[in-house]
Amino acid sequence: MSIYEKYETVVGLECHIQLLTRTKMYSNDAAEYGAMPNTNVSVVSLGHPGTLPRVNKRAIEFAVKLGIATKSTITTENQFARKNYFYADLPKGYQITQDKTPICTGGFISFKMKDGSEKQINLIRIHMEEDAGKSMHDIDPFETLIDLNRAGTPLLEIVTQPDFRGGEEAYAYLNEVRKLVRYLDVCDGNMEEGSLRCDANISVRLKGSKEYGKRTEVKNMNSFRNVQRAIDYEVKRQIDIIEAGGEIAVETRSFDAVNGTTFSLRSKESANDYRYFPEPDLQPVMVTKEYIETVKNNLPPLPNDLYEKYTKELKLNDYDASILTELKEIALYFNELISHTKNYKAAANWVMVNVKSFLNENAVHIDNFPVKPKAIADIIALIDAGKIGHTAASQKLFPALIANPSKSAETLATELDIIQNSNSNEIQALVEQAVNKFPEKITEYRNGKVGLLGLFVGEVMKLSKGKADPKVVNLLVKEQLEKN
């Protein structure tokens, strides 16, 4: 057994998600990304004395949405608190956050791991707060520049229990969080633009031990993959220190993505004292049962519920169900499609293969995809009725529909001249013609060379110029060969 196998990894994650509200958490300054620096800053964002904060209603709604989706308990009386610290990008000298009454407690997020196993991560809390401004150290060679556009933008902080047993679980969890906030339309989930940020608290302990080891906090990981890499590196580093007889320094570390390592930022030995106290300028926000009910009734379908429906009700396999629920827009497209067809497997294939490849190859977002789900259902119906073949449908009809989305599938199929002949009488004549062409092959077939069936079918297809329904042809050729 390697030394690493003696230890168990214990990780908890703190994620900040930036909310897709139009305005900031406590003022009506615009909360947009990418504006000219310091243009979305009124006296409130600048922390001028005497200004008063007001709570953004939409941010409360978003917090409740996420709370319901994670099966959290939602707090009735929500107080805000001041977290005091000094920093150049924090003009007020404090952050308005929640301390003793986070809007959500408990709750969990569950997801599938690559090997198909299910993992559940329990949440300690989700609370509302505001973001600080941004200090930029890499634009001017001598000065640090400050952009206060971000100061006051609404955040939800999701704090998990130390339930992760490795980097891969953290990676899968973050994917699930992103999927969830995108389904809920509360956050764009874009880690590169900083709208989803994550810190990891990492420690190790001997397997079977009940006590936690000393932990480090790792920051500045700007992709899900880097969170996984940072955890895996940090776990190995800690085990190496312990095995060499050393002790883990309780500290904040930063991830170096180039080298895949972590390095010390500052010691945590002296605990921060933020002097939390209730925000005197804000009334507590009351979240009533009726309000929660209203939000619940307007909740969009959630990925896990759709997954359940697709596998249990529609009997799709796990792979299809997870691909179809990966992106909300794809899932909604598929949802509408299956309201027009009962052939769920075919519907899944059309979306996963034809629609998705078109979107990928042409870099088109599904919102701009011209073919309506109903038209895909019409194609499926034409195939199922034997009127067109699958190959002609995907190679000719589908591109034609994309070019002429206002025409019906059937009209286009007629114009393309791909409607199959399934008239048995007409096909029967061609079958006889084809079979009579190879009298010696008939004998061979009857003597057991059944593979010759393909030869006759191919001949009929040729005679029909590819327009005979292959299913009907197969049947009739077999009948013909087995006569007498």
Instruction: Output the smallest distance, CB 136 to Mn ion, in A.
Output: 20
Nearer to Mn ion, 217 or 459 (CB): 217
Instruction: Output the smallest distance, CB 349 to Mn ion, in A.
Output: 44
How far is 260 from 233, CA to CA, in rounded Å? 7
Instruction: Output the smallest distance, CB 14 to Mn ion, in A.
Output: 7
**Tokens (6 digits) for 257:** 């993505």
Q: At what angle do helices 289-297 and 57-69 cross, to 10 degrees?
A: 70
Total chain residues near Mn ion (CB under 5 A): 1
Q: Which residue is nearest to Mn ion (CB)?
A: 157
Instruction: Output the smallest distance, CB 107 to Mn ion, in A.
Output: 18
How far is 163 from 108, CA to CA, in rounded Å? 11
Tell me the three state secondary structure of residue 220. coil
Nearer to Mn ion, 129 or 147 (CB): 129
Q: At what angle do helices 453-463 and 439-446 cross, to 10 degrees?
A: 140
Give yes or no for a contact between 101 and 286, defined as CB atoms under 8 angstroms apart. no
Taking CB under 5 A as the criterion, which residues in 140-159 touch Mn ion? 157
Q: What is the number of residues in the chain?
A: 484
Instruction: Output the smallest distance, CB 17 to Mn ion, in A.
Output: 11
Interface characters, 103-142, with Mn ion (x: CB under 5 A): ----------------------------------------
Nearer to Mn ion, 157 or 163 (CB): 157
Q: By CB under 5 A, tell whether 163 contacts Mn ion.
A: no
Nearer to Mn ion, 98 or 354 (CB): 98
Nearer to Mn ion, 96 or 381 (CB): 96
> From residue 225, how far is each of 157, 230, 231, 257 by CA, in Å?
20, 9, 10, 10
Interface characters, 355-394, with Mn ion (x: CB under 5 A): ----------------------------------------
Nearer to Mn ion, 221 or 409 (CB): 221
Nearer to Mn ion, 53 or 389 (CB): 53
Give yes or no for a contact between 17 and 186, defined as CB atoms under 8 angstroms apart. yes
Instruction: Output the smallest distance, CB 261 to Mn ion, in A.
Output: 25
- What value does the CA radius of gyration of the chain take, rounded to a whole number of Å? 31
Instruction: Output the smallest distance, CB 129 to Mn ion, in A.
Output: 5
Instruction: Output the smallest distance, CB 174 to Mn ion, in A.
Output: 17
Strands 251-256 and 216-219, bridge-based pairing? parallel
Nearer to Mn ion, 29 or 129 (CB): 129
Tell me the three state secondary structure of residue 265. strand
Tell me the three state secondary structure of residue 435. helix
Instruction: Output the smallest distance, CB 61 to Mn ion, in A.
Output: 20
How far is 196 from 365, CA to CA, in rounded Å? 22
How far is 99 from 104, CA to CA, in rounded Å? 12
**At CA 199, angle to CA 194 and CA 200, rounded to 5?**
150
Sorted by sequence, the CB contacts under 8 Å of residue 282 that are 6+ apart come out as 26, 53, 54, 55, 80, 96
Nearer to Mn ion, 157 or 459 (CB): 157
Chain residues binding Mn ion by CB under 5 A are 157
